[in-house]
Structures are given as C-alpha cells and as structure tokens.
C-alpha cells in the first residue's frame, strides 16, 4: 500500500462501516475457500485451517493492507469495539510460513496452519451487529424530536405524527409532507426564509407562507405550530 493508503481505507470504513464488514468478510471467505480442515484433530478442534504454501503469498497481499488499515481505523473511530489486531494471528501464520518457504525449509507436501480465523469470523459478526444497531439508531433519531416530544412514521403517501401526550395526526399532500419534514429534520426545527423557499422554488413566497399557515393549523390538533421568527420560521410546541 502507499504510505497513506491505510489511512484512506480506514477513513472509508469510518464513513461507511458496511465497507469494513464487506472487506473483512471477503478476505475471510477467500482464506476459507483456499484452505481445508486439517487432518490433525487438535488443530481442527482449535479452528485452524490448512493452506497449501502456493496460496500464502497472495493471502499475505490480501491481509496486510487490511491489518494496517485496522490500526488506523481504531484511532479514527474509538467507539468501535473491533480489535485492531484481530488479523494478527492469521497474518503471523502466513508470514512465518512465507519465511520458511523462502528458506526452503518446508518439506514437500506440507501445509500451512492458519490460526485465528474463527476469532476473525466472530469479530465480523459482532461488527455487523454494531453496524446494524448504529444504522437503526440513526434512523430512529431522524424520526424523533425531543424538542417537540414527537415521533413520525412514513407510510406510503401518509405521514403519521405521534406526540407523546397530545395524540396523533395523519398528514397527506404533496406540500404538507415535504414542508413538515423540512422543518422536522432541520436543526432546532428552524428554517431561514431562503431555506423555506427551497422547499419548492416553483412556488412564490406568498403561496408558501399560505401553505405554512394551513399546515400549522393542522398541527394545532397535536399542539404543534409553525411561527414566524426573525429571519425565518420555527416549528415548536403550541403555546
């Protein structure tokens, strides 16, 4: 890898953890496909795999970049519980075998014992569960407002607005729903005049304000309103 290639790969993983899981899973799948269960019962019980020396060099080429990037990833994303050295045992098995092969000390018909693959596979599944949880939480955060004490559900062409104490409301319409979501998903539910106009640039500001008033009147049923504020509009609890 280039000097900064490990960092670049780690940065990609941080932005999209699914890539991390995919890269590790692809490497493990390749190792499994190019190795076999050992005949030695002890090694088999320990989860080791037997690989022919001819595959060792390519295996190292596949594992080393991932191992280096994991070291960078653990620094970039400290909240990840993935062990940065999870590939260490597999890599050491390969490097030792490669050195012995280079020294011509491997006897004919010998195989290389890979250790640690079971731990890597387990780490991949744990990471996948973590990724799934983060994505689920992210989705929930996008559908929840603690300021308004409100949760929303989108179903087909309807939007269900559920407030914690004030009941629920179904919104319909090509203007109501986009406008509501624009306010709901912006910081502190505030939109500047320009951002408000960006909801639909084909509509004049006076018409948009009329839609805002109509939407606000509907939201009064669940004690939410959209009011004018300096420089724009804010959606808030009804006062």
Q: What is the pTM of this model?
A: 0.58
What is the model's pLDDT at position 196? 79
What is the model's pLDDT at position 42? 80
Listed by start position, the domains of the chain span 5-141, 145-237
> Could you report the average pLDDT of every consecutive run of 10 residues in the chain (239 residues)?
77 88 94 90 81 91 95 82 91 83 56 89 90 68 85 86 92 88 90 79 74 93 93 90
Decide if 185 contacts 131 (C-beta within 8 A): no
Q: Which CATH class is domain 145-237?
A: mainly alpha
What is the model's pLDDT at position 105? 53
What is the model's pLDDT at position 112? 87
What is the model's pLDDT at position 138? 61
Instruction: State whether the Cα torsion 96-98-104-109 is positive or negative.
Output: positive
Q: Please state, as a whole number, how many other Cβ atoms lie within 10 Å of the Cβ of residue 26.
A: 12
Decide if 152 contacts 96 (C-beta within 8 A): no
What is each CA distance from 68 to 57, 76, 91, 195, in whole angstroms? Answer: 17, 13, 11, 44
What is the model's pLDDT at position 194? 80
What is the model's pLDDT at position 199? 72
């Amino acid at each position: 890898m280039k000097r900064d290639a490990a960092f670049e790969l780690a940065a990609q993983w941080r932005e999209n953890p699914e890539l991390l899981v995919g890269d590790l899973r692809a490497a493990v799948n390749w190792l499994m496909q190019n190795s076999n269960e050992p005949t030695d019962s002890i090694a088999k019980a320990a989860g080791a795999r037997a690989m022919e020396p001819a595959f060792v060099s390519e295996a190292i080429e596949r594992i080393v970049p991932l191992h280096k990037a994991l070291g960078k990833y653990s620094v970039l994303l400290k909240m990840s519980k993935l062990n940065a050295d999870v590939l260490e045992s597999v890599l050491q098995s390969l490097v030792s075998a490669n050195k012995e092969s280079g020294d011509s000390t491997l006897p004919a018909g010998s195989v290389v014992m890979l250790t640690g693959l079971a731990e890597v596979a387990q780490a991949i599944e744990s990471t996948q569960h973590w990724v799934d949880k983060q994505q689920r939480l992210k989705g929930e955060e996008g559908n929840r407002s603690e300021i308004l004490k409100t949760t929303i559900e989108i179903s087909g062409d309807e939007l269900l607005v559920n407030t914690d104490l004030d009941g629920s409301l179904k919104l319909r319409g090509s203007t109501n729903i986009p406008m509501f979501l624009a306010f709901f998903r912006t910081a502190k539910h505030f939109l500047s005049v320009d951002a408000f106009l960006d909801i639909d640039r084909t509509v004049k500001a006076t018409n948009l304000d009329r839609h805002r008033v109509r939407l606000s009147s509907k939201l009064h049923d669940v004690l939410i309103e959209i009011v004018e504020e300096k420089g724009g509009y804010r959606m808030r609890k009804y006062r």
